[in-house]
């Protein structure tokens, strides 16, 4: 019999969204946080740039809203954009109250104004940051607070397998999840009155990504299997500047470098961004990524270069200490020479459809952070709006959950996990082969530039892989790689179908078959069958 845990609130994911929710709920409920790896490991920890919010008296919420709508290419949900921008400052003040130490203009003065940087697509300096390791500052601070709270339990090295829902089609209710305890390699279950997906994005579906290994689309795939609608999965943001080095394939070079004057150059040293957009290096990420991709293909080059060596060494070391130390360790001195870069899959702009309270289509099930589709990002995410979305919607969801949670609800005995007819895998190479094949054809056929023929080929391959993986899943005991591959293949199908639905080029979705933008457009919404 598999072990059953019980709680009021189950949070699947331990990044900024999940930790913020936990801390805002723990005074009202018993909380379990499920973390696939160590609790510090996740996309939040590696976020460098910062968090956008209006703190400058020369800036305004309306201008933040407008910048977001422009970057989103006219298919953002305007009400959600307004809601997020209006709640931005309060959300950041909550983070500050938890102990997050954002940089100030005068570091030695505690009452000095916060140092605000500017990134691509922003009309003002409005990015709060902690040097070039903002995510690390946020993650470590929230983890410290979570560990001190008596009503929060942390389950590290646990994979969520699938959500458990009541069987009534008229009133489907999420009542918990099956989980795989990687510490003892056993399947267990958690009964919860409210379940929240905070699992992050799905960029691991691509061969090259800036994300950590855990970004395998688990929450999106689980929600889809549970009956939730998803939206805008065709909009995958490729960060323009990932360090090109064999020992640092996932090391991101923050957008703040370009915000502080870094220039993109060809291998011959010539600058090229002004030829593509009047905003040059400060154009939105989709524009910059396509320009780099175009130049690499045109020249047959392995990479382009990002150059900030015209700034003083003191300035570079003060503002970008993490990048400076990392690149120095790899034998590159960014104070004297340009950094080799390539685009890499970075952020999933679509996800599980939710409302302002984080609610999905299934009762008792919420989604917050990168796993969700709120309508904030539209066809392209404005830089540094991601952590903002995590905190704003986590706080909003917490209010709704606290108001509707029945802590006296009886504990249900969950259906047992049946593995009486499965065996241990004897061919792990099958998983590894399918894993590499999936990520390679997604990069080649569903990447920065697409065509209908490439998408159709990718869909055919995904469907073949799905049948192979489901067969494997039915016959062998679960493992981390099998669970992630099963979810990535499902997410890949959603991305491809969403891309085939959009008969235009808009934002992050660029197809040679439909290069123009439609006059009227909106989100791409997919609904599960049955």
Residue labelled with tokens 């706080």: 395
Residue labelled with tokens 């795989």: 180
> From CA 179, how far away is CA 3, in angstroms rounded?
10
214-218: long-range pairs with CB below 8 Å, 24+: 214/36, 214/37, 214/41, 214/42, 215/43, 216/484, 216/487, 216/488, 216/491, 217/348, 217/487, 217/488, 217/490, 217/491, 218/12, 218/36, 218/159, 218/160, 218/483, 218/484, 218/487
Task: Report the candidate in 101, 120, 123 with the shortest Cα–Cα distance to residue 112.
Answer: 101
> From CA 12, how far away is CA 258, in angstroms rounded?
34
Which alpha helices (DSSP H) does 148-268 contain, by range?
218-226, 256-259
Contact partners, residue 474, CB within 8 Å, separation at least 6:
422
Got the DSSP string for 485-517?
HHHHHHHHHHHHHHHHH--S-BTTB-BTTS-SP
Alpha-carbon separation of residue 473 from 163, 494, 495 (angstroms): 16, 20, 22
> From CA 499, how far away is CA 502, in angstroms rounded?
5
Residue labelled with tokens 């006059």: 519
Contact 163/10 with Cβ under 8 angstroms? no
DSSP letter at 253? -
506 is catalytic: no
CB burial of 170-194 (b: ≥16 within 10 Å; e: otherwise) equals eebbbbbbbbbebeeeebbbbbbbb
- The length of the chain in residues reads 530
Contact partners, residue 345, CB within 8 Å, separation at least 6:
203, 205, 206, 208, 209, 210, 211, 236, 237, 238, 239, 443
> From CA 445, how far away is CA 495, in angstroms rounded?
11
DSSP letter at 331? T
> Looking at 258, 285, 290, 439, which residue is catalytic?
285
Contact 17/187 with Cβ under 8 angstroms? no
Relative to beta strand 339-348, strand 31-35 is unpaired
Contact partners, residue 275, CB within 8 Å, separation at least 6:
none
Residue labelled with tokens 């910048």: 67
Q: Around Cβ 302, how many Cβ atoms within 10 Å?
A: 10
Any idea which residues carry the catalytic annotation?
A: 285
């Amino acid at each position: 019999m598999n072990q059953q845990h019980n709680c009021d609130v189950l949070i699947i994911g331990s990044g900024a969204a999940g930790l913020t929710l936990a801390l805002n709920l723990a005074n009202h409920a018993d909380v379990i946080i499920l973390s696939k790896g160590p609790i510090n490991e996740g996309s939040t920890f590696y976020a460098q740039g910062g968090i956008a919010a209006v703190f400058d008296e020369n800036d305004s919420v309306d201008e933040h809203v407008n910048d977001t709508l422009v970057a989103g290419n006219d298919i953002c949900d305007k009400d959600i954009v307004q809601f997020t921008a209006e709640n931005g400052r309060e959300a950041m003040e909550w983070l500050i109250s938890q102990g997050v130490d954002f940089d100030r203009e005068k570091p030695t003065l505690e009452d000095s104004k916060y140092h605000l940087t500017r990134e691509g697509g922003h009309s003002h300096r409005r990015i709060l940051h902690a040097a070039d390791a903002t995510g690390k500052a946020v993650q470590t601070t929230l983890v410290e607070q979570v560990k001190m709270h008596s009503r929060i339990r942390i389950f590290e090295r646990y994979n969520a397998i699938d959500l458990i829902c009541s069987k009534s089609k008229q009133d489907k209710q999420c009542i918990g999840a099956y989980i795989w305890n990687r510490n003892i390699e056993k399947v267990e279950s958690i009964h919860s009155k409210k379940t929240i997906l905070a699992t992050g994005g799905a960029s691991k579906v691509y061969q090259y990504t800036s994300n950590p290994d855990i970004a395998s689309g688990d929450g999106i795939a689980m929600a889809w299997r549970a009956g939730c609608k998803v939206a805008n999965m065709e909009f995958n943001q490729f960060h323009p500047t990932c360090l090109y080095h064999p020992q640092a394939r996932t090391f991101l070079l923050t957008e703040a470098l370009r915000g502080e004057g870094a220039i993109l150059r060809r291998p011959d040293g010539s600058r090229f961004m002004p030829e593509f957009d009047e905003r040059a290096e400060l154009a939105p990420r989709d524009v910059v990524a396509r320009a780099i991709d175009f130049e690499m293909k045109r020249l047959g080059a392995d990479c382009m270069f990002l150059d900030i060596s015209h700034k003083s060494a003191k300035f570079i070391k003060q503002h970008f200490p993490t990048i400076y130390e990392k690149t120095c360790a790899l034998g590159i001195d960014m104070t004297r020479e340009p950094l080799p870069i390539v685009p890499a899959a970075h952020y999933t702009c679509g996800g599980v459809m939710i409302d302002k309270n984080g609610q999905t289509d299934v009762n008792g099930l919420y989604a917050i952070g990168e796993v969700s589709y709120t309508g904030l990002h539209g066809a392209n995410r404005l830089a540094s709006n991601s952590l903002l979305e995590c905190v704003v919607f986590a706080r909003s969801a917490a209010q709704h959950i606290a108001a509707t949670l029945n802590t006296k609800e009886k504990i249900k005995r969950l259906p047992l996990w049946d593995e009486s007819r499965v065996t241990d895998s004897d061919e792990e190479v099958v998983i590894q082969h399918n894993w590499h094949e999936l990520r390679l054809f997604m990069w080649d056929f569903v990447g920065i530039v697409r065509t209908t023929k490439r998408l159709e080929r990718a869909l055919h391959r995904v469907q073949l892989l799905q049948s192979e993986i489901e067969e494997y899943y039915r016959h062998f005991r679960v493992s981390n790689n099998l669970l992630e591959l099963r979810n990535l293949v499902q997410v890949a199908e959603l991305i491809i179908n969403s891309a085939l639905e959009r008969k235009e080029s808009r934002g992050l979705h660029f197809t040679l078959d439909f290069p123009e933008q439609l006059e009227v457009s909106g989100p791409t919404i997919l609904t599960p069958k049955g």
